Amino acid sequence: MAGLRVALAQVNPTVGDLAGNAELVLAWARRAGAAGADLAAFPEMALTGHPVEDLALRASFVEASRRSVAALAARLAEDGLGGLPVAVGYLDSDAAGRPVNALAWLHGGAVLLRSAKHHLSDSGVFDEFRCFAPGDRLPVLRIRGADVAAAVCEDLWQDGGPVSATADAGAGLLLVLDGTPYERGADGARLDLYARRARQAGCALACVNLVGGQDELVFDGGSVVVAADGALLARAPRFVQHLLVTDVTLPDAAPAAEGAFPRDAHDGTVITIERRFASTGPAPARAPVTAELAAPLTEAAEVYGALVTGVRDYVGKNGFRSVVLGLSGGIDSALVATVAADALGPERVHAVLMPSRYSSEHSLSDAADLVERQGLHSRIVPINDLVAAYDKELALTGLAAENLQARIRGTVLMALSNQEGHLVLTTGNKSELAVGYSTLYGDSAGGFGPLKDLTKTRVWELSRWRNARRGPGPLLSDLGPEPIPPAVIDKEPSAELRPDQRDTDALPPYDVLDPLLDDYVERDLGRDALVAAGHDPALVERVIRLVDAAEHKRRQYPPGPKTSAKDFGRDRRLPITSRWRESR
């Protein structure tokens, strides 16, 4: 039996930063070398960042990626790591000049093996058929007397292809370079998949996943190693950069020559197994490392971690020093402020209190209480005089007058953004976005929407969870006990744009509305199916009308972190102009 020390580096690259990402790989490869690893692996597209989307169609970017991976191999050798096989994801092109989502084995100062993702994803998040050509090779590298096959992300999710070819090749380990984004409640399904594919391939499986935020997507890490029978051997923590180092006992490689060997991929294609040797002798005697098994997260903890990661990386990767938001004394802005403080530190969060004549006294005092609890920057900008100036010229009434207040607040925040360089965080939630309960160019104005994919009921759930989470942690700043005033969580929600206004004046209670929205938006149930699921028929028809009429508003809302199976953005693509209506 052969013993391999595997190092999985779940890192946080930035799309397009080839030089910075190469330095990231070098730094973590040094850690792997210092840990005595026999191989180091980095996630899908680690060298280019992921997803590159239509940058893949730009020949100059493809060529720069090819140059970067060759230069990285040379740099590894210069740093004394030429003997450490390093697997890294990058962007390449095939023999016909088409872009491919590629994998490279770097060894001895050169690119020893290249391959490309065989199964391309066509999910709501990724549209890889638009950008990439499929690969048709399975690289198998002999390391310390064991054969290691390698594949990329979607190759693990589809039947046939690299998994079947791995079994045919008799490899002892299937290494997967992954770039799977976070989705609420999907962790168990991933672990089941890893175990099932390990059993199908007849070998141990190691999967290294990305971590970090990229626009709407959040990658949560959680890299794993499982045995050939599917048993979990090691697991990395989620939402943090981490090096997972694990000793794996593998069968000795069967006698075989280097070369290329075509095989039926059992998916209607042929895959060529390309075998090369990096080292054939056994690993040196050494003390074993203790297997790391990171504890699983509760659903609230993982969702909150995704929000914090999404805000932190959107702000940092886009070069903003700070954020600004309108703090109303309501639950949504309170949670946004808390997430921002945990992501960036309270010293980088600026809250603006903008009372109008309809603002209740407790709203202002609750907002001030939150500022004091968390140590945020704050200022008060009353909008009464601004509203009066508009009203003098326009004499607005009814809904137009209500929306004017929201638009003035949006203008104030955008002006401060321009003047002081803050990123404006919007505070709307998924329930409001779904039914159009927001004001264009008002509360929807901003650069990033942390709650965009959270229904109102989940906003309350997370707020209560965060208040119960005492002290600092890997994702949380030390905001002390109960960073959100309990009065904010307990009060009835209101936009406060007219006297004694309540959300329930226009909407059903959120505990009734949100399950209906989940079924209509995330499950795509039609009118009859919604009624069959137990929803009130009259409410179904009303909510469908509201949701369908608000598509144009959602298209103009800023990006926000995806946490559900179907968010407003990458996943849900409906026409704005449409005469289709769900009917009886």
Enumerate the active-site residues.
44, 117, 153
Task: For residue 288, say if its preceding peptide bond is cis, omega within 30 degrees of 0.
Answer: no
DSSP label at 518? Answer: I
User: If DSSP codes are grouped into helix, strand and coil, which group holds residue 134?
Assistant: coil
User: Position of tokens 């639950």?
Assistant: 331
What would the two tokens of residue 348 be?
């980088």
What would the two tokens of residue 168 be?
């045919």
Q: Evaluate whether 80 touches 37 at the Cβ level (below 8 Å).
A: no
Q: What is the distance between the alpha carbons of residues 40 and 570, in angstroms, rounded to a whole number?
A: 32
Q: Evaluate whether 451 touches 429 at the Cβ level (below 8 Å).
A: yes
Residue 315 CB: number of other CB atoms within 10 A?
Answer: 23
* 477-499 b/e (C-beta count within 10 Å ≥ 16 → b): bebeeebbbeebbebebbbbbee
Please give, one letter per residue, the 3-state secondary structure of 201-268.
HCCEEEEECCEEEECCEEEEECCEEECCCCCEEEECCECCCEEEEEEEEECCCCCCCCEEEEEECCCC
Q: Is the dihedral of CA 78, 84, 90, 91 positive or negative?
A: positive
Amino acid letter, residue 259 = G
What would the two tokens of residue 511 be?
């505990």
Q: DSSP for 435-459, please give it.
A: HT-S-TTTTT-SSB-TTTT--HHHH
C-alpha closest to that of 413 among 385, 438, 379: 379
Helix axes 384-394, 398-420, angle to 10 degrees: 130
C-alpha closest to that of 427 among 521, 508, 338: 338
Residue 300 CB: number of other CB atoms within 10 A?
Answer: 18
Q: What is the distance between the alpha carbons of residues 283 and 222, in angstroms, rounded to a whole number?
A: 27
The angle subtended at Cα 158 by Cα 154 and Cα 161, nearest 5°, is: 95
Q: What is the distance between the alpha carbons of residues 110 and 570, in angstroms, rounded to a whole number?
A: 38
Residue 378 CB: number of other CB atoms within 10 A?
Answer: 18
Amino acid letter, residue 548 = D
Total residues belonging to the chain:
584
